[in-house]
Structure 1
Amino acid sequence: MDSILQFALLAFTSLFTMVNPLGVIPVFTTLTTGMTSKQAAAIALKATSTALIVLLLFTFGGNFIFDLFNISVNGLRVVGGILFFLSGYDMLRGKLTRIKSEGEESIEAAKDFAITPLGVPMITGPGVITISIVMMNDAPDLTHKSLLIASIFVVLGLTHLIL
């Protein structure tokens, strides 16, 4: 029973720390400036749903996917870092001003950033994916694996509420 509680606590704290929903707030706020609260809520839902799907995909099939494409975890970290840099550079240059346009164009532009950069890699980045793959491999039985999956749902649910 002790190992189950330790694993659950480790899974939750590791995932929550790496997802860092409080760190996503400034980016989310910047990207949704000028939108109604309903539009921002829709963006938050789409971003966290995308993050959940991607994270579950990698949690269950991560090793297979990595082996299939001969990708290392370190390679994933490099690509994630490049994506973060490009996203930050675009924000610095003011590339997201098109999102402040009116009507349908604004909603269409918002669909672009809900998936990337918000869903992936901001919420579900290489660190979170790596943690989920490693913890799934380290889970000795179905109970531990279920706790990891529950932790993923709780962390991303909290992330949605925070955004």
Structure 2
Amino acid sequence: MLGFDKLDFQQILSTFLVLIGIIDIIGSIPIILQLKAKGKTVSANKATFLSWGLMVGFFYGGNFILKLFGCNIQSFAVAGSILIFFMALEMILDIEIFKNNGPVKEATLVPLVFPLLAGAGTFTTLISLKSMYADINIMIALALNMAWVYIVIKATDFIQRLLGASGIYFIRKFFGIILMAISVKLFFDNVVLLI
């Protein structure tokens, strides 16, 4: 339950900074632009709302859901890290591994919302933060992050015009390597805990 008496600006700021690094919407810009170049639609409203809903749902019910399926947070994080690794490979090598067999023109839910915005890394982080900070502070920081996600997704066309084709190509390769590094760290951090 949210406790407004536990409001703490320091906890909100710390949580906001941690989540902004994990969600990494700036690093997702090349993926969003790639999806748009393939004729897929990406809705800022839908991406923000679905991401927020998934994160809040997992924050309050994640452990129960995973236990229901006989999983733990570490095995979930390992599975998510593998998925993120393959998405990074696509960005670095200019190949298509991930096939979107969902609605033909829609790419908001998969792969943008899950696993990029609301994926294993975010879920694992939220569960970890819950053990350190008050729920109200985490929820405020999450809402601020979702506002940032909305602004960046809305501005992707402007960012593309600003950087041009070669700038976007460079960012795509650079963030592909960053995404791969995050996936490797997420994998090994959690495999060690599983073993």
**Shorter-chain TM-score category?**
0.7 to 0.9
Change in Cα spacing, 1:75 to 1:95, as seen in structure 2 (3 Å) is closer
Q: Which amino acid aligns with 1:9?
A: L
Identity among equivalent pairs (%): 23
CA-to-aligned-CA distance 1:53-84 (integer Å, 9 cap, x gap): 11111111122222222322221121112222
Q: What's the RMSD between the two structures over aligned residues?
A: 2.9
For residues 121 and 105 of structure 2, the distance between their equivalents in structure 1, rounded to whole angstroms, comes to: 25
Change in Cα spacing, 1:95 to 1:121, as seen in structure 2 (3 Å) is closer
TM-score of the pair, normalised by structure 2: 0.64
Runs of at least 5 residues in structure 2 that lack an aligned partner in the other structure: 154-195
The corresponding residue for 2:71 is 71
User: 2:87 touches 2:97 (CA, 8 Å); kept in 1?
Assistant: no
For residues 70 and 15 of structure 1, the distance between their equivalents in structure 2, rounded to whole angstroms, comes to: 27
Runs of at least 5 residues in structure 1 that lack an aligned partner in the other structure: 100-107
Give the Å deviation of 1:95: 6.8
The corresponding residue for 2:61 is 61
Pick aligned residue for 1:93 from 92, 95, 102: 95
Give the Å deviation of 1:89: 5.1
1:47 aligns with 2:41: no
Pick aligned residue for 2:113 from 92, 111, 119: 119
Q: Which amino acid aligns with 1:110?
A: K
1:154 aligns with 2:151: no
Q: Which amino acid aligns with 1:4?
A: D
The corresponding residue for 2:104 is 109
After TM superposition, where is structure 1 displaced by more than 6 Å over at least 4 residues in a row? none
The corresponding residue for 1:102 is none
The corresponding residue for 2:175 is none
User: 1:50 touches 1:120 (CA, 8 Å); kept in 2?
Assistant: no
CA-to-aligned-CA distance 1:77-119 (integer Å, 9 cap, x gap): 21112222344456633478x99xxxxxxxx4232x2101100
Equivalent position SS for 2:104: helix
1:14 aligns with 2:4: no
Give the Å deviation of 1:159: 0.8
The corresponding residue for 2:123 is 129
TM-score of the pair, normalised by structure 1: 0.75
For residues 145 and 18 of structure 1, the distance between their equivalents in structure 2, rounded to whole angstroms, comes to: 18
Q: How many pairs were matched up?
A: 146
Bigger share in helix: 1
Change in Cα spacing, 1:137 to 1:110, as seen in structure 2 (3 Å) is farther
Higher relative contact order (CA 8 A, sep 6+): 1
